[in-house]
Structure 1
């Protein structure tokens, strides 16, 4: 079966450290994580972003909606974490490439942020979920760009 990933990139007019802060500082994640609510209950992301630490997507009442763990981290370069909707019936097997991966690279003070999310092929209706996630990333990435560029 063909693997299904969201695979998107955005150029940001800010150095690596500003983009990293936009992705990982709680006051910033609270801004871009709202895009994942998309008409549903608002939630935010809590994590220390250290290897093995939990990544919890919580509703306003503190209920965990999505959980995961940081599986790779290199400050200002790479952040990967798993995501599992706790409302789902079954937890799919997770491979090294599953979850959400942020890769950052900088050239002349401009940072390229690459996001990879998947593999959705292990899910029933995986293409539908991949497409829905891609639409959300189309809103999240510009929000991360604005946050990073404002902190110049």
Structure 2
């Protein structure tokens, strides 16, 4: 079966360090993570973003909804972590490319943020979930862009 990934990019008028901050600092990640709630309870993401560390998506009451681990890390360049809905009893095998991958490449003061999420082909109705996730990332990426540009423009 063909692999199914969300594959989206956005150019951000900020350094990769500022984009990284918007992705990993809880003050900002909690703002973009809300897009994944689809009208349900708000999410927060907890992690220290070190290689092997847990990544926990929690509801407002502190219940873990999605869990994973950081599987690739090069600060300001690449961050990959697995994601498993703890409400599902099924955990498919994970390859090195699975989960959510953020790739950042900076040139001339602008950063291209590339998101890759999947592989959804291992799930029942994988195409449906890939398409739903694509819609969410199309809302998340402009939020990350806005926050990173605000961080970049603030006076320190």
The aligned counterpart of 1:5 is 5
Q: In 2, distance between residues paired with 1:148 and 1:37?
A: 22
Structure 1: segments with no counterpart, 5+ residues: none
Q: Please give the TM-score of this superposition, normalised by the length of structure 2.
A: 0.97
Cα offsets for 1:46-99 (capped at 9, x unmatched): 000000000000000000000000000000000000000001121110110000
Q: In 1, distance between residues paired with 2:131 and 2:119?
A: 12
Q: In 2, distance between residues paired with 1:38 and 1:91?
A: 22
After TM superposition, the runs of 4+ consecutive aligned structure 1 residues lying more than 2 A away are none
The aligned counterpart of 2:116 is 116
> Cα distance, 1:143 vs. partner?
0.3
Aligned length: 152
Root mean square deviation of aligned Cα: 0.5
Q: Please give the TM-score of this superposition, normalised by the length of structure 1.
A: 0.99
Q: In 2, distance between residues paired with 1:26 and 1:86?
A: 21
Q: In 1, distance between residues paired with 2:40 and 2:148?
A: 26
The aligned counterpart of 1:14 is 14
Q: In 1, distance between residues paired with 2:40 and 2:7?
A: 24
The 5-angstrom pairing of residues 3-152 of structure 1 reads 3-152=3-152
Q: In 1, distance between residues paired with 2:20 and 2:37?
A: 22
Structure 2: segments with no counterpart, 5+ residues: none
Q: In 2, distance between residues paired with 1:124 and 1:18?
A: 37
After superposing the two structures, state which structure 1 stretch, 33-42 or 79-88, moved more.
Answer: 33-42
> Cα distance, 1:38 vs. partner?
1.2
Question: Does the residue aligned with 1:131 lie in a helix, a strand or coil?
Answer: helix
